[in-house]
Amino acid sequence: MARVSVDTRKCTGCHQCEIACSAWHEGQFRPSLARLRVEADPASGKVRAFACTQDRCGKCRDACPEGAIKTRSVPVKVSSGTIQCTVLVVEPDECTGCGVCVDVCPLKVIFLHPDTGKAVKCDLCDGEPQCVLACQNPLVQAVELRPDQPARVG
């Protein structure tokens, strides 16, 4: 279990993660449609970042009146090998574009695509999260695939 996480103390606000995300999903460099969001304030230099926490949150899935947001388990490549991750995926054929998911998302990282009208969100790029690859500076490395704490038992 893991999710994309941006360490805002390390992040320098270059937006390469958003650029890469849009390239992968949209086939063009169009960060306004990125599935994660970085806000960098030029005055203070401070950065805020928003990335889907998948089923740790799950509000979009739970709220979808069509049941169009599915829980899937996908293998995701990390430096040490492959780990199995849970992602919430929008099934486009079932999505009616009602926008309920957008309203309930606490981080505003699910939105209706301006061309298709259907909801889109982070799907960990078929197991190769592009945002993580694009955060290249070894002295920064703010975007990472962060393993969740194992669920407490008993």
Which residues sit at the interface with other proteins, rule CB under 8 A? 12-16, 19-20, 22-24, 26-33, 39-40, 42-46, 114, 130, 133-140
Closest C-alpha among 100, 95, 133, 119 to residue 17: 133
CB of residue 145 vs other proteins: minimum separation in angstroms?
17
Decide whether 29 or 117 has the Cβ nearer to other proteins: 29
Decide whether 5 or 16 has the Cβ nearer to other proteins: 16
**89-128: b or e for each residue (b if 16 or more CB lie within 10 Å)?**
bbeeeebeebeebbeebeeebbbbbeeeebbbbbbbbebe
Decide whether 14 or 83 has the Cβ nearer to other proteins: 14
CB of residue 126 vs other proteins: minimum separation in angstroms?
12
Side-chain half-sphere exposure of 110, counting CA atoms within 13 A: 30
Closest C-alpha among 36, 37, 23 to residue 122: 36
Decide whether 19 or 100 has the Cβ nearer to other proteins: 19
Distance (Å, rounded) from C-alpha 12 to C-alpha 138? 12
CB of residue 29 vs other proteins: minimum separation in angstroms?
4
Please name the residue that has the structure tokens 């090998």.
Answer: 81
CB of residue 9 vs other proteins: minimum separation in angstroms?
9
Count of CB atoms situated within 10 Å of the CB of 135: 23
Decide whether 62 or 128 has the Cβ nearer to other proteins: 128
CB of residue 58 vs other proteins: minimum separation in angstroms?
28
